[in-house]
Amino acid sequence: MNQWWIDGPATPPPEEVAALDGELAIETHGLRKTYRSVRGRAVCVEGLDLEVPVGGVHGFLGPNGSGKTTTIRMLLGLVRPDRGTARIFGHEVPKRLPDVVGRVGAIVESPKFFPAFSARSNLRLLADAIGAPRGRVDAVLEEVGLAGRARDRYKGYSLGMKQRLAIAATLLKDPDLLIFDEPTNGLDPAGIREIRRTMRGLADRGRTVLVSSHILGEVEQIADTVSIVARGRLVASGRVADLIGAGGRGSVRVRVAPDDLIIATSLLETGGLTVRREHDALVVDGGPDPAALNRALGERGVWARELVPQQADLESVFLGLTQHEAPGGRTHAGGRRRGRRRGAQPAEPTPPETGATQEVAR
């Protein structure tokens, strides 16, 4: 099959490769968690292998109920895994969590503070618990823009203010790793942008940010790398650009004269392309190079009236992966080689989008 028009995945800059190949902030192997209830046993996380490189923003993506929050809870020692191991900065958790907890700030789901206490009282209690200086409380309140409302009771705060207070709490420790679980839930657009900016800023200052979300647009804007989970398993991980490029590849919408539609379709299909007809236009899938398409048509005397590249986004990659994910399926992208571990299943057949993603895992 002739594929001369398909762009390959972009090669990551050397510094990014170095970062990805370096120390891991978070590492889990075969993590499993089940919940028992009167209705039976529900597997929430099933053999999760997760790797989060040091530095940058790492999106932890998955549909609702895919095990993101449970995984974060296991990392923080709030929930006991049934099986598997987890490490933060090389320290096994929850066993050695006390050794590393000072480097980790986390907000799990919605912020939870003592409702009747003021923001300052809440933070002072936390600061005193870890021996942070009192001055640090006012500094972090100032940093998140809550200094003017520090005396107000927490229960009177808006959702956005609560989120900002939670971020302030995580900053009390001056952590190297920040874990945000669905940080923009319930926020208005301004609040979402603010949180996004904060997370990006933290990463730009050298911290590692793990953000779990099912809102892909926001993650796509700030994340350097992502891991996608579905039904408790990792289905893909790597750089956002690689996943989008390799996973979606995009398509090109081609408009030609109505009389040329049939011949144009024939020409392109002969070249090995997948062509769909949409009303009076053709949609060429598989991430073709628009210039190459134009040249190929022009050489046969068919002139394109319109060529519109349609880029894949993280959402399409995510949906492709999570809707078709089968147990054991796993895809990696990016410069880092992830060895398949004992017991891991070979990747299952994947849909067209993920098939492309698999190609870059080498």
Partner 1 sequence: MTRLLRVELRRLWLRRMTWAACVLALVAVGIGIATQVGTARPPTDAQIAEAERFYADELAWWEEHGEEEVASCEEAEAAEGDGADYGCEEMGPRLEHYLPPTSTFVPDAAELDGPSVAADVDGAVAPDPAVAAVQGSLWSGWSGLPSLVPVATGLLMLAFVVGVSFMTAEQGSGALGMWLTFEPRRRRVYWSKAVAAALGTVPVVLLGWAALVGGAYAVYARFGTLGDVTGPVWVQVAAFSGRLVLAGAAFAAIGVALGVLLRHAAAAVGVGAGVLWLSTVFAYSLGGLQRWTPALNFDAWLRDGATYEVVRTTMGEDGTYAEEWVTRVVAGWQGGLYLLALTVVLSLVALVVFRRRDVS
- Which positions touch partner 1 (CB under 8 A)? 73, 76-80, 94, 97-98, 101, 104-106, 108, 110-117, 121, 125-126, 128-131, 166, 169, 173
Which one, 40 or 258, has the nearer CB to partner 1?
40
- Confirm if 290 and 6 have CB atoms less than 8 A apart: no
Least separation in angstroms between CB 143 and partner 1: 18
Least separation in angstroms between CB 75 and partner 1: 10
Coil/strand/helix, residue 9: coil
- Confirm if 249 and 312 have CB atoms less than 8 A apart: yes
Least separation in angstroms between CB 356 and partner 1: 39
Which one, 108 or 275, has the nearer CB to partner 1?
108
Q: State the Cα–Cα distance between residues 171 and 45, nearest whole angstrom.
A: 29
Least separation in angstroms between CB 97 and partner 1: 5
Name the β-bridge partners of 287: none
Q: State the Cα–Cα distance between residues 276 and 285, nearest whole angstrom.
A: 8
Least separation in angstroms between CB 63 and partner 1: 20
Which one, 106 or 312, has the nearer CB to partner 1?
106
- Confirm if 233 and 50 have CB atoms less than 8 A apart: no
Which one, 171 or 264, has the nearer CB to partner 1?
171
- Confirm if 68 and 220 have CB atoms less than 8 A apart: no
Tokens of 330: 């796993």
DSSP output for 13-46: PHHHHHHHHS-EEEEEEEEEEEEEETTEEEEEEE
Which one, 99 or 143, has the nearer CB to partner 1?
99
Tokens of 218: 């926001």
Least separation in angstroms between CB 114 and partner 1: 5
Which one, 1 or 129, has the nearer CB to partner 1?
129
Q: Which amino acid would we find at residue 345?
A: Q
